[in-house]
Structure 1
Amino acid sequence: MKILVCVKQVPDTNEVKIDPVKGTLIRDGVPSILNPDDANALEEALKIKDEKPGTTVSVITMGPPQADDMLRECLAMGADEAYLLSDRAFGGADTCATSTTIAAGIDKIGDYDIIFAGRQAIDGDTAQVGPQVAWRLGIPVVTYVQDVKLCEGKVIVQRQMENGYEILEVQTPCLLTAVKELNEPRYMSIGGIMDAYAKKVTIWNHEDVGLDPKDCGLNASPTQVFRSFTPAPKGKGEMLAGTVTQMADLLTERLKEKHYL
Structure 2
Amino acid sequence: MLDNLGAQNLSPAELRSAIRKGDYNRPTPGLASGYAQANLVILPKDLAFDFLLFCQRNPKPCPVLDVTEVGDPEPKFAAPGADLRTDLPRYRVYEYGQMVAEVTNITDYWRDDLVAFLLGCSFTFEEALLNAGVPVRHIEEGKNVPMFITGISCRQAGPFHGPLVVSMRPIPAHLVIRAVQVTSRYPAVHGAPVHIGQPELIGIKDLNRPDFGDAVTIYPGEVPVFWACGVTPQAVAMAAKPELMITHAPGHMFITDLRDQDLAVI
Greater C-alpha Rg? 1
Greater RCO structure (CA 8 Å; 6+ sep): 2
- So what's the TM-score if we normalise by structure 1? 0.24
Q: TM-score, normalised by structure 2?
A: 0.24
Question: Which structure features the higher share of helix residues?
Answer: 1
